[in-house]
Structure 1
Amino acid sequence: MGRGDDLSDRYPDERGWVNARIRQIRALPYKPTPMLELELPTRLRGSRLLVKNESVHPSGSHKHRLAEALYLNALANGWLVHDSPVVEASSGSTAISEAWFSKLLGIKFVAVVPSGTTAEKKKAILELGGEIVEATGATISERAEQEARDRHGHFMDQFTYAERAYDWRGDHGMAGEILHESDPDWFVMGAGTGGTAASLARHARYTGHRVRVCVTDPENSAFFPGWRDNDRTVTATGSRIEGIGRPKVEPSFLFPLVNRMIRVPDPVSIATMRVAKERLGVAPGGSTGTGLYGALKILRELHRRHETGTVVTVLCDSGERYLDTYYSDAWLEQQGIDFRPWVDTVERFFETGHWTPPRSWRKPPTPRGLMWNM
């Protein structure tokens, strides 16, 4: 065999580069995020409503866990190469978290974000040394894949690899923390990739916990009709609640691991978010409002059946990222999201346990028999 026939040592320094970055990630301090409890009215005595505060992560959201898992997965699989950039398609929070890890590891990062992503999120990506490419929401994954090819980089592809990258067996993750801290009856949150829901459902089965998983989906997302009809080809126009809902059913959203889905109108998500700010003492983002509404609905249903239970949802990220959007009455009016009538409804529920939709409520169009079931 000639000297040029042996390719086993083509990249003699790559293994050392990879090992050093894995060590950097694994050396990061681990501390469970806090669990907050929202006070419920006397009518719901015996039930509990817990909120996992994921906004305390260094990159500011629950996507910090996903970014860590994606980087470890890509490094261990040999997909990240020295001096090549990481490219990701993201509406904001995942990109911020991946930019944080890229800065830590000394890797160039490029975020392909939908046009209209909040200025606060784009600023956070840039401050972490990332680069931003804007694209229309329905094509961000395709654009990110093309950017990765053009730049000879790696497309991280959170929508495909989220459920594969998470270590669902380990106790040191959101699933392990939630199940071992509270042993809930229900876990409720929206889905951006579906990776968190999948990892929690898998960990519950692996450890023998009883929890059921409910995914709350915003308007104009493909996840709810896809799950309802067991149809992965469904498409939609795309969610107005950043971080959750997708125009197509993504690979990481696994139907069999979701016990229930609830479609939440956007005005209700925003109203619930606004009320949560006062009751939690922390300003959450819109996706937290979507998940919290679903938790309230499940608590109402438990009461009607003369049952009690523990329901856990997630404070996904801080409302500081949405000061010009979800916390701006002018912006919401421009978007046609009239949340004000719902604020009294949500506040009254926390005071009395009764849920009465406003008289002005008119259900949005329900294509293909979609049930709002308010």
Structure 2
Amino acid sequence: MAWKTEALDKLRPGPPTPLVKFPLDVPGVRLLLKDESAHSTGSLRHRHAGALFRQAVLDGFVTEGTTVVEATGGNAAVAQAWFARLIGVPYVAVMPGEYSAARARPVEELGGRCRFVTPPLAIYDEARRAGGHFLDMFGRATPHDLAGELFAQVRPAWVVTGVHTGATSATVGEWIRDHDLHGEIRLAVADPENSAYFPGWTLDVPDYGTGMPSRIEGAGRPRIEPGFRPDLVDLVIPVPDTASVAAARRVRTVTGLPVGASTGTAVHAALTLVDRMAARGETGTVVTLIGDAHPRHLTTYHDDAWAASRGLLAGR
């Protein structure tokens, strides 16, 4: 009981992340970026990871010495490794693909371990077999504290989120519904190429799959994940991958932050909404998220040669 109390105390949410004004030349319309890169691990995944760990401790699935396992890579694995170290439990990330020291290093530096699995979709079964508690961030729609924090800062006309596990859009949509604000605040989801959410939402096919991986790290999925709640979403906006990269670069120009292309996906969708509002003579505030900002993006999405070699530069 003492360990559980101490762990839950450590897993309390941190201070609110700031809102950054994005410059527009549209009278009566504001675009604000909620900077989730301000978290300790530098991404929106920090907030979701904290919620997953808190719920697992509350439910008794994670106790002193329990190994925590997740099938994921990138920012989610880093955030989860950080929380595992915070409460002193072992952590294993089962990552898709061949071994990569660059992908493993940030997790290992936080005391976690990595297993690499091929084919990529085998990571889920491998994580379930690994022993310990499988967090299953894709299978569990665990709400976090983003919505309450955001709406205490501002009451926008639109909130735009990217989509990966579906947890962020579900959290925001549930808050709007539970506070009877649907119509006053609307929710849009931004989806990159190859992802299942836009076609699945449009066709009303909840198990839609594309079978193709997204080229935008941290955004999109080849299948609609259980955490996605289409009933809470007003609009899903498809975003070309070249537009995601261009918008990420524009955010860096405005803020100085080397954001990833998943942020660019959401920002491009937000700017699409701004254009529609202007055309209709509407006013109000649009809010979207800076999902992460890391120097590694300078050698990928912000590097002309890298992006051009992958067909991610517009006009090339």
Aligned counterparts of 2:294 and 2:261: Cα–Cα separation in 1: 8
Shift in Å, 1:215: 0.6
Match runs of 1:319-358 below 5 Å:
319-339=294-314, 341=315
1:65 maps to: 47
Percent sequence identity over aligned pairs: 38
Once the two structures are overlaid, the 10-residue window that deviates more, 15-24 or 50-59, is 15-24
TM-score of the superposed pair, with normalisation by structure 1? 0.79
Indicate the SS of the match to 2:296: helix
Report the structure, 1 or 2, having the larger helix content: 1
Classify 1:185/1:124 alpha carbon distance in 2 versus 1 (closer, same or farther; 3 Å): same
Check conservation: 1:92, 1:121, Cα contact below 8 A.
yes
TM-score of the superposed pair, with normalisation by structure 2? 0.93
- Residues 221-259 of structure 1: per-residue CA shift (max 9 Å, x gap): 111111111212211212111111111111100110111
Question: How many correspondences in the alignment?
Answer: 312
Residue 213 (structure 1) aligned with residue 199 (structure 2): no
Classify 1:214/1:246 alpha carbon distance in 2 versus 1 (closer, same or farther; 3 Å): same
Which residue type is aligned with residue 143 of structure 2?
Answer: Y
Shift in Å, 1:78: 1.4
Shift in Å, 1:333: 2.7
List alignment gaps of at least 5 residues for structure 2: none
Check conservation: 1:109, 1:129, Cα contact below 8 A.
yes
RMSD: 1.9
- Residues 137-162 of structure 1: per-residue CA shift (max 9 Å, x gap): 43332332232xxxx2111000121x
List alignment gaps of at least 5 residues for structure 1: 1-14, 168-172, 342-359, 361-374
Indicate the SS of the match to 1:278: helix
1:36 maps to: 20
Which residue type is aligned with residue 5 of structure 2?
Answer: N
Aligned counterparts of 1:249 and 1:280: Cα–Cα separation in 2: 32
Shift in Å, 1:116: 7.4
Classify 1:74/1:174 alpha carbon distance in 2 versus 1 (closer, same or farther; 3 Å): same
Which residue type is aligned with residue 234 of structure 2?
Answer: N
Larger radius of gyration: 1
Which residue type is aligned with residue 145 of structure 1?
Answer: R
Aligned counterparts of 1:138 and 1:216: Cα–Cα separation in 2: 23
Aligned counterparts of 1:200 and 1:111: Cα–Cα separation in 2: 27
**Of the candidates 294, 306, 313, which is equivalent to residue 281 of structure 2?**
306
Aligned counterparts of 1:117 and 1:314: Cα–Cα separation in 2: 31
Classify 1:121/1:38 alpha carbon distance in 2 versus 1 (closer, same or farther; 3 Å): farther
**Of the candidates 238, 263, 267, which is equivalent to residue 263 of structure 1?**
238
2:5 maps to: 19
2:64 maps to: 82
- Residues 12-53 of structure 1: per-residue CA shift (max 9 Å, x gap): xxx443333123223x6x311110001111xx1110000000
- Residues 305-340 of structure 1: per-residue CA shift (max 9 Å, x gap): 11122100000001323233222323223322223x
Classify 1:144/1:189 alpha carbon distance in 2 versus 1 (closer, same or farther; 3 Å): same
Aligned counterparts of 1:258 and 1:143: Cα–Cα separation in 2: 32
Match runs of 1:1-374 below 5 Å:
15-26=1-12, 30-41=14-25, 44-115=26-97, 121-135=103-117, 136-147=119-130, 152-161=131-140, 163=141, 165-167=142-144, 173-209=145-181, 210-236=184-210, 237-339=212-314, 341=315
Aligned counterparts of 1:140 and 1:220: Cα–Cα separation in 2: 20
Aligned counterparts of 1:57 and 1:16: Cα–Cα separation in 2: 27
Shift in Å, 1:277: 0.3
